[in-house]
Structure 1
Amino acid sequence: MDLRDYRNCLGTFATGVTVVTFNTDHGKHGFTANSFTSVSLEPPLVLVSVNRKIKSCAYMRDNAFAVNILRGNQQDLALHFAGKPREGLEIRWKEGDYAPYLADALATIQCVPWKAYDGGDHVLYLGEVKHYQYDEGDALGFFRGNFFPISSDAGK
């Protein structure tokens, strides 16, 4: 199988963009993820798929985390947490009851660890939702390697 071409195929599935954040012994950290989904309402569970090659994968094990759903104008945050630092970017953190989160995100979902599963070259982390908050506004989308705003009016 041509893995690059397969990845291109997967890129035709438009997704939202999140930054997953957590505390470590070295401070607050995070990474950009579009492999995020809700799993269950009872109990409330979400899933984040994390590449085993990134440092954050090990930090996620048995650690509370927050999923920050980005606003349509937060491409710089997405790039920064994807390992492409943005000069002069101000990152406004808040300390949640369970995990640190980004102050200006469209929505934030704080989780405690539920289970972790082998997912090939990824680890599938399930978190039990303990707190959430959300706001009105446009979301940040990702399609075929490009960011785009998803209008909050799109479904009206």
Structure 2
Amino acid sequence: MSSRNLLSDLIKTFSCDIKDLDCMYGKCEKCKEINIITNDQGDNNEETSWLQWKTKKEKRNIKGDEKEITLTVKETVTDSIHVLMDAFSTEMQRFKIHAFNIANQMKHYRNIKENLKPNEALVHVDFAENFQCKLANEIQSMHFWASKKQLTLHTGVFYTALSSQTFLRSVR
């Protein structure tokens, strides 16, 4: 079973209709209070630990100047089972909205693409910022950041009713 199906099954346990905006946005009277996470085995105040991604600011000395940078790190959090269950429920609500938006957006995108008229076009553009250039055979000093060139890649597909064409543009 794919991870996509597992996530879809998980979302279904928190919603009465995964295709309904109100259900997925937590506004449905039938399912907005669904909470399948229970701890029948013990005390919800018992302490537990879990890993969680967090964004932190840190001061670093860069070329003689102190600068504040933002890092995303995985940290161990220790708190009560109750806090973990609340955090999971909050994240699940956010994830339900995210999953609904993706599915709905893809459905509309596919519909537009499949029903293009002869005088219409659909342009899908994406970009990869700070794409790092590499050489197949680099000397050791080339391996470090200061020597690397970066660019932004703009990739896309141009669709018409009868054909499609990919394109790429790079910006330094």
Give the alignment's TM-score, normalised by structure 2.
0.20
Comparing both structures, which one devotes a greater share of its residues to helix? 2
Give the alignment's TM-score, normalised by structure 1.
0.21
| Higher relative contact order, structure no. (Cα contacts within 8 Å, ≥ 6 residues apart) | 1
